[in-house]
Amino acid sequence: MNDWKERGIDPADFTQLDPVSAEGIERAVAIMRTGRLFRYSDGQPEDSEVALLERDFAEYLGVRHALAVNSCTTAIELALIACGVEPGSKVLVPGFTFTAVPSAIVVLHAIPVLVECNEDYRLDIDDLRRKITPETKVLLLSHMRGHISEMDAIAQLCAVHGITLIEDAAHALGARWRGKQIGSFGKASCFSFQSNKVINAGEGGILTTDDDKIIVKATYLSGAYEMNYKKHFTRSPLFEEFAGRLPARNARMTNLTAAVARPQIGLLEEKGRRYRQMYAYLKRELTATNRIEFPQEYPHETRIPDSIQFKVPGYDAAQMQTFIAQVRKSGLPLAGFAERDNARAFYNWRYLGEDMPDLPRTKKAIENTCDMRLPSRLQEAHLAYIVAAVRSALHHVDAMQRMAVA
Ligand SMILES: Cc1ncc(COP(=O)(O)O)c(C=O)c1O
């Protein structure tokens, strides 16, 4: 480790988060000085940092409307309700996603129907086809860890069966399929600004759509009571039509969160380029060990890979545990999807009760898979350190194996 220290490596670098930019800090402080933290404090959308964030985000994504809320989970709930999901509705959802996603379905008393994922963490299209029934109204598709599923096949199946697609793009902001922004395929799409995501605002989420009815319903549901919809940039005669017809919960974002998030939109493309370089280096060097397998990349996807996932084939559960523990000793926050209580392993979503299916393919896909977030400011030496730490952990497990055999 001393060598690495000399090369400027501090293990704390691997858990760094993106700092708030000077512009974000200035805007947040200016807002605090006025006390106008509430998005509806002022009469005009131009005066609300939240409305400006919505305008800029929609423009970045190339969609007509955006609604900023307090989390991606909330955005998903509002999208589901706005798309007509009711108690008892069946909603297709990947079996490999974060627990918040099926939870958003369950809290609406709807029924999640889990679809298998394949060895590359994408939706298993054959299983999707099998699980579509005449009752299926909605597919809530997570682009888990930014790996993009076969969007052509999914769009076609949704069109043929009259299924509404909602994208959970919490991990896929800035990603593209055939050059088209992820989050512009669904009837509605949802993004997260929680600290571990490519836009870090602590917490926060945003719902996007091209559909007037969806944005009007979601805006009312988010808590745009009385005539506050006029303080959004979205204009639609449907606001009059739906006035008073939807329950108004409070899912609103504050101006402070928006001030922190908004300047980060302009950094996304550069961040994407840097992440793609880091990912290519790590994939090349770790694959060269002949012990590590990265998921296949799909030809039409462009990702912002702010994390890595890889398998160590051939290790049993105990060896995986030792391997992960050994890497962690180097200060790297490596996790295993199959670790106890991991919130991305479907068999830990015990609240599903009798709706918990058996998903052998998904289980196998996540079984030997490691997962690690990459801070955006890692340098070449940090990447070399990751490779060295993984190689050293492989040697450690192999040495233990040899000792056990001898
Ligand atoms: C795939 C996925 N979808 C949705 C969410 C929910 O995001 P939020 O924390 O903003 O509610 C998360 C959270 O990490 C996630 O990982």
Residues forming a β-bridge with 180:
177
The ligand 1 atom at the shortest distance from the C-alpha of residue 204 is 10
Distance CA 401, CA 406 (A): 9
What was the pLDDT predicted at 1?
A: 58
- Residue 186 has what DSSP assignment? S
What spacing in Å lies between the alpha carbon of 375 and ligand 1's midpoint?
Answer: 18
Residues forming a β-bridge with 181:
176
What was the pLDDT predicted at 220?
A: 98
Q: Which of the listed residues 210, 236, 266 is the one where a domain comes to its end? A: 266
Does a structural domain hold residue 52?
yes
Distance CA 222, CA 199 (A): 21
Can you give the pLDDT of all 406 residues of the chain as single tens digits?
A: 567 888 889 999 999 999 999 999 999 999 999 999 999 999 899 999 999 999 999 999 999 999 999 999 999 999 999 999 999 999 999 999 999 999 999 999 999 999 999 999 999 999 999 999 999 999 999 999 999 999 999 999 999 999 999 999 999 999 999 999 999 999 999 999 999 999 999 999 999 999 999 999 999 999 999 999 999 999 999 999 999 999 999 999 999 999 999 999 999 999 999 999 999 999 999 999 999 999 999 999 999 999 999 999 999 999 999 999 999 999 999 999 999 899 999 999 999 998 899 999 999 999 999 999 999 999 999 999 999 999 999 999 999 988 888 7
**Structural domain for 321, as ranges:** 2-9+268-405
What was the pLDDT predicted at 92?
A: 98
φ and ψ of 269, to 5 deg: -65, -40
The CATH number linked to 233 is: 3.40.640.10
Does a structural domain hold residue 14?
no
The ligand 1 atom at the shortest distance from the C-alpha of residue 143 is 1
What spacing in Å lies between the alpha carbon of 405 and ligand 1's midpoint?
Answer: 44
What domain count does the chain have?
2
Same domain, 296 and 252: no
Q: Which of the listed residues 211, 246, 266 is the one where a domain comes to its end? A: 266
Same domain, 260 and 281: no
Same domain, 226 and 274: no
Same domain, 90 and 220: yes
Q: Which of the listed residues 220, 248, 266 is the one where a domain comes to its end? A: 266
Residues forming a β-bridge with 302:
176
Map tokens 């609406």 to a residue: 108
Same domain, 294 and 197: no
Does a structural domain hold residue 279?
yes
Distance CA 394, CA 308 (A): 17
Residue nearest to atom 14 of ligand 1 (CA): 98
Does a structural domain hold residue 16?
no
What spacing in Å lies between the alpha carbon of 170 and ligand 1's midpoint?
Answer: 6
What was the pLDDT predicted at 2?
A: 61
What was the pLDDT predicted at 406?
A: 77
The CATH number linked to 298 is: 3.90.1150.10
Distance CA 123, CA 221 (A): 30
Does a structural domain hold residue 43?
yes
Does a structural domain hold residue 346?
yes
Distance CA 115, CA 158 (A): 14
Same domain, 361 and 240: no
Same domain, 124 and 205: yes
Same domain, 251 and 276: no
The ligand 1 atom at the shortest distance from the C-alpha of residue 74 is 11
- The pTM of the full predicted model, rounded to 2 decimals, is 0.97
What spacing in Å lies between the alpha carbon of 140 and ligand 1's midpoint?
Answer: 13
Output the 3-class SS for 62-117.
Answer: CCCEEEEECCHHHHHHHHHHHCCCCCCCEEEEECECCCHHHHHHHCCCCEEEEECE
Residue nearest to atom 8 of ligand 1 (CA): 72
Mutate to test the pocket of ligand 1, among 69, 73, 144 (most ligand atoms within 8 A of CB): 73
What was the pLDDT predicted at 343?
A: 97
Same domain, 207 and 67: yes
Same domain, 48 and 188: yes
What was the pLDDT predicted at 305?
A: 98
Does a structural domain hold residue 17?
no
Same domain, 219 and 256: yes
Same domain, 156 and 227: yes
